[in-house]
Amino acid sequence: MSARTLAIGALLLVSIVAGTVSDRPRVDSPIILGGFRVIAADFHVHPAIVSAAGLTPWDLVLEAQRQGIDAFAITPHNNVFPAPIGRWFSRLIGGPTVIVGEEVRAAGYHVIAIGIERTVSPHHTAAAAIDEIHRQGGVAIAAHPAADYWPAYDAAAMAALDGSEVMHPGALSVERDRADFEAFYRRTPLTAIGSSDYHGLGRLGMCRTYVFAADASAPAILDALRARRTVVYGVDGRVYGDPALIRLADADGRLRERGAERANGNALVWLSRLTGVAGLAGVALL
C-alpha cells in the first residue's frame, strides 16, 4: 500500500472519529433567569412522513438532542399525525419536550399551529385558521411572513395572531426577507419567534427561540408564548422579544454564547469537515 493511500485513509479515519465524537448529544445545565426556566426551542420542524423532509419523527428527537434543543414542535404540512410519534419516542428516552403541531399551508399564508391535536384545514382564511388553533388550546405563529403573505393577515387575523417568525433561515441570507420578517413582527405586539424550518438540510435549531417558562412542559411553554416571554437573537447583533428579558439575558451572557457556539461549530466539527473533504478529494484523485 502506497504512502499516498495510507495518508488518504488516515484523513478519512480522523474525519469519521472527529465527526462521531462531536456529534454526541451535549447536555447543557438548565439556565434559570428571573425565576424562569429558559427553554431553547424550535417551533418549525418537519418530519420525513408527509412533509418533504429527511428525518423521521424519532430521528428528529435525536437530532434535537444533538443541537441542545430543550423543546421543539413537529410541524408537518397540513397534518399532525407524525408529531405524536415523536412525542411518544421522546418521552420514552427522556428526550426534549415535543409539542404536536402543523404548518397550515394555505394559498395566501402559512401559519404554524402548535399545541393542537387535530389538523387545521388550509382552506380557512388566516383569521379562521387562527381561531381554530385557539379552540384547540394551541398557539398560532406566522411562518416566514414575507410581504407576499401580508394581504392574508387582515385586522381580525392580526388581532388574534400570537407570534411571528422574526428569525428564519431566509433572514440569514436574503436581506429582503430579513426586512419583511422584522416589519411584520413590528406591525402589532407579537411574540418573537426564531425557527429553523428544518427539512432535513441545514441545522435543526439554527434559528431558535429562548422561552422563559415556569418549567419545560408543553403547557408551560405555550403559556410563556402567549405571555410573549421570549428572546430571539438575530443578525448584526439584533435581539427581539421582551425588553426586560433581553436585558436579563444580556447581563447573564450564556444564551448568546450557546447559540453562537453551535452556529459556528466547535473545533472537532471543523476537523471532521476539513479532513473529510481532503480525504475524499484524495480518493477522487486516485
**pLDDT tens digits, one per residue of 145-159:** 999 999 999 999 999
**How many whole angstroms separate alpha carbon 252 and alpha carbon 246?**
10
Q: Which residues pair with 142 in a beta bridge?
A: 111, 164
Here the contacts of 173-182 (C-beta below 8 Å, separation 24 or greater) are: 176/146, 177/144, 177/146, 178/234, 178/235, 180/145, 180/146, 180/147, 181/144, 181/145, 181/146, 182/234, 182/238, 182/240
The pTM of this model reads 0.83
**How many whole angstroms separate alpha carbon 143 and alpha carbon 103?**
8
- The CATH homologous superfamily to which domain 34-252 belongs is Metal-dependent hydrolases (3.20.20.140)
**How many whole angstroms separate alpha carbon 82 and alpha carbon 102?**
10
**pLDDT tens digits, one per residue of 225-248:** 999 999 999 988 899 999 999 999
Percent of the chain with pLDDT over 70: 80
Q: Are 135 and 111 in contact (CB under 8 A)?
A: no
Percent of the chain with pLDDT over 90: 68
Residue ranges per structural domain of the chain: 34-252
**Residue 267: exposed, middle, or buried by beta-carbon count in 10 A (0-12, 13-18, 19+)?**
exposed
Q: Are 130 and 121 in contact (CB under 8 A)?
A: no
**How many whole angstroms separate alpha carbon 176 and alpha carbon 157?**
23
**How many whole angstroms separate alpha carbon 262 and alpha carbon 62?**
16
Q: Is the pLDDT of residue 18 over 80?
A: no
Q: Is the pLDDT of residue 262 over 60?
A: no
- Write down the residue that cell numbers 472519529 correspond to: 17
210: three-class secondary structure by DSSP? strand
